Structure 1
Amino acid sequence: MTTRRDLAGLLGAGAVAATALTLASKEASAQAATTNTLERILSSKKLRMGAVAAGQPWTFKDRATGKWGGQFVDIGTALAADMDVQLEIVETTWGNAVLDIQSDKIDIMFGMNLTPKRALVVDYTSTVYDSALVVIARPGFEPKTWAELNDPKIKISVDVGSAHDHVAARLCPKAQIVRFKSLEEATLALRSGRVDAQSIFWMGGVRAVKRDPGLGKVVVPQPMFGSTSNAIVRRETDKTWRDFASAWITYSRGLGLIREAVVNSLAQVDLTMDDIPPGVTF
């Protein structure tokens, strides 16, 4: 027979056990919250990198084999190897990359030009390489300066929210900036004669004209505007992952690894050093 004293003891033990479980759960949650991205990558042996399937020469996915390639895949593979972890590629888009970083779907995304709006919500690594902004000008239109493009009669296509968009709007406030959802749509607008030029970084511009000479000509308006191509990571109180990635990038630039990856990726799309516009460096 269970007495009141026995019942009180059982209830007390239950309360103690429940309290212990609650404390253990809180402790586990706190421990998980304090685990930074670098610790998780090293413990899971997995580095999740975002990549765009149709982003060659930066990243691309072979539809037939499912294999990924491109300069940032080569760079990400080298980074993972130096960390002794496996590279896991997660498909994303340029437009969704920031959200995928914030929602913990990916750990790093290369090829993100620095913009103030992005810098408000994610952290940038050190510079992967320098990138000059150019325009693809329609046939018969060859502006030599940004001042020539800064004209109310001139229409410039951009992919909305991109660095192409931010820079064109800043340098050509008087021009008509025509915004599209994707880089491809912005290029199609130029091809169909709906705009006079497309704002784009040199790698994308040179490749587009190489594939379709009818688009026009790659022009480097003066003064030459130079931006940077960086990687983005999740914003955390502990900056260990950002700092490590930045240190690795700086080290790899010094070794020539970054430049080699870029040159190899250009060769894969039939571009050579001779195709690079005069004055453009990376």
Structure 2
Amino acid sequence: MARFSFRSIRNVIACATAIGSLLSVVPAQAADSQLWQGVQKAGVLRCGAAVAAPYVMRDVASGQYSGFFVDLCRDFGEKVLKVKVEFVDTSWDNIVAGVQSDKWDLAMALNQTPERALAVAFSTEATSYEISLLINKENPKLAGAGDSVADYDKDGVTFAVMSGTAADKAISAVVKNAKIMRLPGMDETRLALMSRRADVLVDASDTNHLFALANPDWSKEVLPSPALAKQGVAFGLRRDISFADLQVLNIYLTQRRATGEIAALVDKASVEVNAAEKSSQ
């Protein structure tokens, strides 16, 4: 017959009490992370919007947002969560902090990086991203340059990039000799290239491609080899989001990508960008 000392019994009771305490905490923490339940209760889904065509665009005159991530955010809020959708203007420098401080529920068009994953949770990717370089074909500084970043990383050469973006981080890591001009928006970086204050424009490949198509006489797009910062582009959310809530958004994106609906939204946004470029010329 096994014998149990008073100390052994006391230890068993203490362990059981500790386990019971831990189990009682888990449901409370899970309840706190029910993001969509809170959004539905508030009746509005807040989407953080930092401008970067064709992902997120904003008409200066009307203040209206467009772009394929805007379409996705609006569709997810209205058709899945059955709530109104509100777009909150922000910058790329502040978009992650806004998720952390609960200023918005979703950060649109975030590049998936390990560093950002320490601060926010990511949905599955809606699309992929790669950085390209855009140059003036007639720029004598770049005569004979190929498709390596090193071909452009020279004294006297200036790279223009939007501050706080994935492109900023990527180009800053590889450029050692050239100057990097960090500007607050896409329009400023493009103007810097067009006015020749900058020699190389650093941006997403699809964005640069659209700009190159609109300016075929002088522009040339360069896809760096090896690829520069090829990443998924997704929604950013609070890190304490529950697995169940994250699955809701992931299933929505996976289905829309598989049916080709996201590709159609990208084409639609691209047409809008090109139309805007032509009207401004």
Task: Tell me the TM-score normalised to structure 1 length.
Answer: 0.74
8 Å CA contact 1:133–1:220 kept in 2: the answer is yes
Distance in structure 2 (CA, Å) of the matches to 1:63 and 1:189: 20
* Alignment partner of 2:231 out of 218, 222, 227: 227
Closer/same/farther in 2, CA of residues 66 and 160 from structure 1, 3 Å limit: closer
Closer/same/farther in 2, CA of residues 139 and 112 from structure 1, 3 Å limit: same
* Equivalent residue, structure 2, for 1:209: 212
Aligned: 1:36 with 2:40: no
* Equivalent residue, structure 1, for 2:159: 156
8 Å CA contact 1:38–1:240 kept in 2: the answer is no
Comparing 172-181 with 69-78, greater Cα deviation is found at: 172-181
Report the count of equivalent residues: 241
* TM-fit CA distance, 1:72: 1.4
* Equivalent residue, structure 2, for 1:196: 199
* TM-fit CA distance, 1:215: 6.4
* Equivalent residue, structure 1, for 2:83: 85
Distance in structure 1 (CA, Å) of the matches to 2:188 and 2:151: 24
Segments of structure 1 that go 5 or more residues without pairing to the other structure are: 1-29, 272-282
The 5 A counterparts of 1:171-186 are: 171-186=174-189
SS of residue matched to 1:105: coil
Comparing 62-71 with 89-98, greater Cα deviation is found at: 62-71
* Alignment partner of 1:238 out of 236, 242, 248: 242
Cα deviation, 1:34-67, whole Å, max 9, x if unaligned, reads 2521221233332111224x54422233345443
Closer/same/farther in 2, CA of residues 242 and 55 from structure 1, 3 Å limit: same
Q: What's the Cα RMSD here?
A: 2.7
Segments of structure 2 that go 5 or more residues without pairing to the other structure are: 1-27, 276-281
8 Å CA contact 2:126–2:262 kept in 1: the answer is yes
* Equivalent residue, structure 2, for 1:8: none
* Equivalent residue, structure 2, for 1:256: 260
Closer/same/farther in 2, CA of residues 56 and 157 from structure 1, 3 Å limit: closer
* TM-fit CA distance, 1:123: 1.4
* TM-fit CA distance, 1:200: 0.7
SS of residue matched to 1:133: strand
* Alignment partner of 2:119 out of 105, 118, 121: 121
* TM-fit CA distance, 1:266: 0.6
8 Å CA contact 2:135–2:201 kept in 1: the answer is yes
* Equivalent residue, structure 1, for 2:44: 46
* Equivalent residue, structure 1, for 2:170: 167
Task: Tell me the TM-score normalised to structure 2 length.
Answer: 0.74
* Alignment partner of 1:110 out of 98, 102, 108: 108
* TM-fit CA distance, 1:89: 1.9
Distance in structure 2 (CA, Å) of the matches to 1:120 and 1:188: 34
Distance in structure 2 (CA, Å) of the matches to 1:269 and 1:201: 14
Identity of aligned residues (%): 26
Amino acid across the alignment from 1:115: T
* TM-fit CA distance, 1:199: 1.2
Closer/same/farther in 2, CA of residues 262 and 237 from structure 1, 3 Å limit: closer
